Amino acid sequence: MTKTTVTKDRRRAAEEIVNSVRLLQGVAQKQSREFVRQHKITGQQLGALRMVALSPGVSLGDLSERMFLHISSVSGIIDRLEKRGYVTRDRNGGDRRVVHLNVTEQGRRVIRRTPLAGMGLLIHTVHKLPDRQLRDILTGLKLILRVMKLDGGDARNG
């Protein structure tokens, strides 16, 4: 095999990778929108609702850590859930700075009748894969992660 051929293969592979990442983002977004249309609730809102259901009385700060999101983001998500009557905010614990979250009966109904979305769905899906595929995916992801971390700082040239 000539050097030129190898170079071409590399280029093609690199382009496919970048394209796959784009596709991945696109697919995820499209499915998210479809989910919203069907179930009248967003994936993030449902994820928050489920987490509150699993930890009644959880604080906003704790919830934000579990969701890997900024507190102010979660505050907004809870706003919308509260407005729709799915969760309640209580400030009657010992520390009155803390907001305690709870799911209403209506919120519980939503959880019962709505399938998984986002990360929850990914976990569900991934669990069903055969070993060989699990390993391949994991290897690839870790490589991307390492590469992104290393190269995040700089990379001159336009």
Q: Which of 11, 40, 91, 109 binds a second copy (CB under 8 A)?
A: 11
Beta strands, E only, the chain: 87-90, 100-103
Could you say whether residue 3 binds a second copy (CB under 8 A)? no
Could you say whether residue 104 binds a second copy (CB under 8 A)? no
Q: Which long-range contacts (CB under 8 A, 24 or more apart) does 119-126 make?
A: 119/47, 120/47, 120/50
Stated as kind and residue range, the H or E segment containing 41 is none
Question: Using an 8 Å Cβ cutoff, are 58 and 51 in contact?
Answer: yes
Task: Select from 56-64, 81-89, 92-100, 146-154 the region that touches a second copy (CB under 8 A).
Answer: 146-154
> Residue 98: helix, strand or coil by DSSP?
coil
What's the one-letter identity of residue 48?
A
Q: Which of 5, 17, 86, 109 binds a second copy (CB under 8 A)?
A: 17
Residue 61, contacted partner among a second copy, DNA, none, CB below 5-8 A by kind = DNA
Tokens in use for 134? 């699990």
Site string for DNA, 77-96 (x = CB under 7 A): xxxx--------x----xxx
Q: Which of 3, 4, 68, 96 binds a second copy (CB under 8 A)?
A: 68
Q: Which residues bind DNA (CB under 7 A)?
A: 29, 33, 42-45, 59-62, 68-73, 75-80, 89, 94-99
